[in-house]
Amino acid sequence: MSRRRRTPAHERGVSRSEVPGEHPSEREPVVTNARIIGAAEIDYERHPASELETSELLARAARLALEDAGVRPSDVDGFGVSSFTLSPDNCIDLVVRLGLRVSWMMDARSGGASGIDMLLHAVRAVDAGDATTIVLVAGDTFRPGDFRTLVDNYNAATRDHLAPLPFGGPNALFALVTTRHMHRHELSREDYGRLVIAQRAWASGNLNAAYRSPLSLDEYLSAEVVADPLCMFDCVPVVAGADAVVVARADHGVRVRAIRALYNADLHDGDGTASGLAELAPALWADSGVRPADVDVALVYDDYPVMVLVQLDDLGFGEPHETLPRIADRSLPVNTSGGQLSAGQAGAAGGMHHLVEAVTQLRGRGGGRQVKGARLAVVTGYGMVAYRYGACANAAVLERE
């Protein structure tokens, strides 16, 4: 199979000259005294009890993260939450439920980008003195019909122009992105399958993953097609669950070496085969003082296999033909929890899942999936389909101290 040259970022829909305002590389890097000192993920459930409430899941995850950090609720003075199904409650309602008194709050609705989004704001808040100990939590639970309602009413553009078709949700949209990406890089379904199979192998070491049984290429290729060329294994299983981290002014824990975000990078005028990471990557690596080759584990938002390959390319790890063999043989550890494709996507918790896994790996607590000697991790966020593809992208470089 021939390989095409790496397509420059501006040809993939990202053009600095077309984006007004300050460029990310011109902003001051994050130099912080904040550390991630606790993390938790409650058990993901494929078929939750009908009476299970989202607020219960979020509260449980917050308590477990505090316990992991060795922090008392009375020491918490900041709280952030991301959820699609918390309504009618809001962030303050969870603060009340948990018996907290806080001086900083954040309600994040940036979906798959929410974990890094909240982390960026929390780090800034701790350094500014607005808070000293912040709990960030994300999660959802879906009753029968809830997910379809969410998808059809995701935003006004989807509700008014796509839902009446009916369009079948984001699977159909990312089938189009996958087709473009497949032709551009001369890939086959087998290539995407290699990534899915590799993540399933990592999931075997994650007792919390929804799917842990080994997956063969034959099983992948013979699976039911959901939206050509996507099969059921290319689409995240919807689960109920929640994830949380504790960010605090401390001299221990996981350090944030660099963190950057860029939203609506291409003014939503591209084709979806590039993310905002393509533009912010140079500044991210410059801030961190390391290169992609130095990273021990990459936790990349994986709503669909194509977006893992897009983000790795945008970050500078290499185009698909370069990264896929390394993903398959684990010389490039990617999504060591199994990712959302095997562990499951608990709504907005998808934006926090990889952040929790990064902390787990850097603290050496990965058990059967632990990457030996992991010191540096990169975590990405991606999501919020404005109409055709995700409009939010962010990333953080984390370090074990």
Topology classification of domain 32-145+238-400 = Peroxisomal Thiolase; Chain A, domain 1 (3.40.47)
Q: Which residues make beta-bridge pairs with 19?
A: none
Q: What percent of the chain has pLDDT above 70?
A: 91
Separation of CA 37 from chain center: 19
The reported pLDDT for the residue numbered 386 is 84
- Rounded mean pLDDT of the chain? 91
Beta pairing, strands 133-140 & 241-249: antiparallel
Domain ranges, ordered by start, for the chain: 32-145+238-400
Global pTM value: 0.91
Split at pLDDT 50, 70, 90, the class of 335 is very high
The reported pLDDT for the residue numbered 3 is 47
- Encode pLDDT of 19-52 as tens digits: 445 566 566 666 688 999 999 999 999 888 888 9
- Which helix (DSSP H) or strand (DSSP E) does residue 80 occupy? strand 78-82
Residue 129's CB is within 10 A of a number of other CB atoms, namely 9
- Encode pLDDT of 77-110 as tens digits: 999 999 999 989 999 999 999 999 999 999 998 9
For the ranges 22-26, 118-122, 237-241, 345-349, which has the lowest average pLDDT?
22-26
Q: Which residues make beta-bridge pairs with 196?
A: none
Q: What is the DSSP string of 101-133?
A: --SEEEEE--GGGHHHHHHHHHHHHHHHTS-SE
